[in-house]
Chains A and B, each alone.
Chain A
Amino acid sequence: MTFSPELEARFEKFLAKYPADRKRSALIPMLIYGQDEVGSVTDELVEEVAKRVGVKPLEVREVAGFYSMLHVGKPMGKHHVQVCTNISCMLVGGAELYDQACHKLGLGHKQVSADGFISLEEVECMGACSWAPAVQIGYDFYHQVTPAQLDKLLDGLKAGKNPDQITEVPKVNC
Chain B
Amino acid sequence: MADLVKFTIDGRELEAPAGTLVIEAARQNGIEIPSFCYYEGYSLQAACRMCLVEVERMPKMQVACTLPVMANMVVKTDTEQVRNARKYTLEFLLSNHPLDCPVCDKGGECELQDMVFRYGAGESRFTETKLHVDEQQWSPVVFYDAPRCILCFRCVRACDEGMGVGALGVVNRGAMSLIAPNHGDHLECDECGQCIDICPVGALTSGTYRYQTRPWEMEHVGTVCTHCSDGCKTTLGVRGDEIVRGNNRDRSGINGEFLCAKGRYAFDFYNHSERLQSPLMKVNGKLEPVSWSTALKAVATKFSSLQTSGGKFGVIGSNQTTNEENYYLQKFARQVLGTNNIDHRRTGDVTTLVDALSGKTGKLAATTDFYETPAVLVLGADLAVEHPFLSFQIRANYRHHAAHVYAVTPDVVREDQYSVQSIRKPAGTEITALEGLRSALAAESGLVIAFSDSVKGAAVHTLVEFGESLGIPVKYAALVDYTNSRGAVDFGLTPELLPGFQASGQVGLTTGEIVTATDLAALWVIGDNPLQSATLGSTKAFVVVQDMFLTETAKNADVVLPSASLYEKNGTVTNGCGEVQRVKRAVSTLGTKPDLEIIGLIAKEMGSAAQMGPWSPDAVYNEIRSKVNGYDIPLPMVLMGAQQTAPVNGRVGVEPRPELVRSAKENLFTSGTLGRYSKILNSVIERRAGHAPSEGNS
Residue ranges of A at the interface with B (Cβ–Cβ < 8 Å): 43, 47, 50-51, 56-59, 61-62, 64-68, 124
Contact = CB atoms under 8 A, between A and B. Distances in A.
Contacts of A124: 173-174
A170 B180 CA distance: 42
A85 to B, nearest CB: 13
B420 interface: no
Task: Please give me the 9 A-B residue pairs with the lowest Cβ-Cβ distance, nearest first.
Answer: A65-B171, A58-B169, A62-B169, A65-B172, A58-B182, A66-B173, A57-B695, A61-B171, A62-B170
Nearest to A59: B169
Given A56-B166, A57-B182, A65 B173 contact: yes
Nearest to A46: B695
Contacts of A66: 171-173
5 contacts: A56-B166, A58-B168, A59-B166, A62-B170, A64-B171
Contacts of A58: 166-169, 180-182
Contacts of B172: 65-66
B121 to A, nearest CB: 25
A32 to B, nearest CB: 16
Nearest to A47: B695
B285 interface: no
A61 to B, nearest CB: 5
Contacts of B182: 56-58
Contacts of B180: 58, 61-62, 65
A51 B181 CA distance: 18
B418 to A, nearest CB: 14
Nearest to A51: B696
Q: How large is the interface on B (under 10, 10 to 19, 20 to 34, 35 or more residues)?
A: 10 to 19
Contacts of B696: 50-51, 56-57
A58 B166 CA distance: 9
Interface in B155-185: 166-174, 180-182, 184
Most chain A C-beta atoms within 10 Å of own C-beta, residue among B167, B168, B174, B696: B696
Contacts of A62: 169-171, 180
Interface string B277-314: 00000000000000000000000000000000000000
Secondary structure type dominating chain A contacts = helix
Contacts of A67: 173
A64 B184 CA distance: 14
Contacts of B168: 58
A62 B172 CA distance: 7
A58 B171 CA distance: 9
Contacts of A50: 695-696
Residue in A47, A50, A61, A68 with the greatest tally of chain B CB atoms within 10 Å: A61
Most B CB contacts (10 A, CB to CB) among A56, A58, A59, A61 go to A58
A124 B167 CA distance: 28
A57 B170 CA distance: 12
A66 B166 CA distance: 18
A21 B174 CA distance: 30
A68 B176 CA distance: 12
A47 to B, nearest CB: 6
A65 B176 CA distance: 10
A61 B166 CA distance: 13
A66 B696 CA distance: 22
Given A59-B166, A62-B170, 7 more contacts: A43-B184, A50-B695, A56-B166, A58-B166, A62-B171, A65-B170, A65-B180
Interface string B177-211: 00011101000000000000000000000000000
Nearest to B156: A62
Contacts of B166: 56, 58-59
Nearest to B171: A65
Nearest to A57: B695
B180 to A, nearest CB: 7
B535 to A, nearest CB: 49
Nearest to B181: A58
B234 to A, nearest CB: 29
A61 B168 CA distance: 11
A57 to B, nearest CB: 5
B691 to A, nearest CB: 14
A24 B10 CA distance: 45
A67 B174 CA distance: 11
A62 B174 CA distance: 12
A43 B183 CA distance: 11
Nearest to B696: A56
A173 to B, nearest CB: 29
B173 A61 contact: no
Contacts of A59: 166, 169
Interface string B435-455: 000000000000000000000
A168 to B, nearest CB: 34
A50 B697 CA distance: 12
B400 to A, nearest CB: 22
Interface in B656-698: 695-697
Interface centre among A50, A51, A59, A62, by most B CB within 10 Å? A62
Given A56-B182, A124-B174, A61 B695 contact: no
Contacts of B167: 58
Contacts of B184: 43
B174 A61 contact: no
A1 to B, nearest CB: 13
Nearest to B176: A65
Contacts of B170: 62, 65
Contacts of A64: 171
Contacts of A68: 173
Contacts of A56: 166, 182, 695-697
A144 to B, nearest CB: 26
A74 to B, nearest CB: 14
Nearest to B168: A58
A57 B167 CA distance: 10
Contact of B169 (A43, A47, A51, A61): A61
A51 B698 CA distance: 12
A58 B179 CA distance: 11
A64 B697 CA distance: 19
A64 to B, nearest CB: 8
A50 B172 CA distance: 18
B420 to A, nearest CB: 15
A170 to B, nearest CB: 31
B534 to A, nearest CB: 44
Interface in B135-169: 166-169
A59 B695 CA distance: 12
A51 B696 CA distance: 9
Nearest to A54: B696
Contacts of B697: 56
A61 B181 CA distance: 10
A95 to B, nearest CB: 15
A27 to B, nearest CB: 14
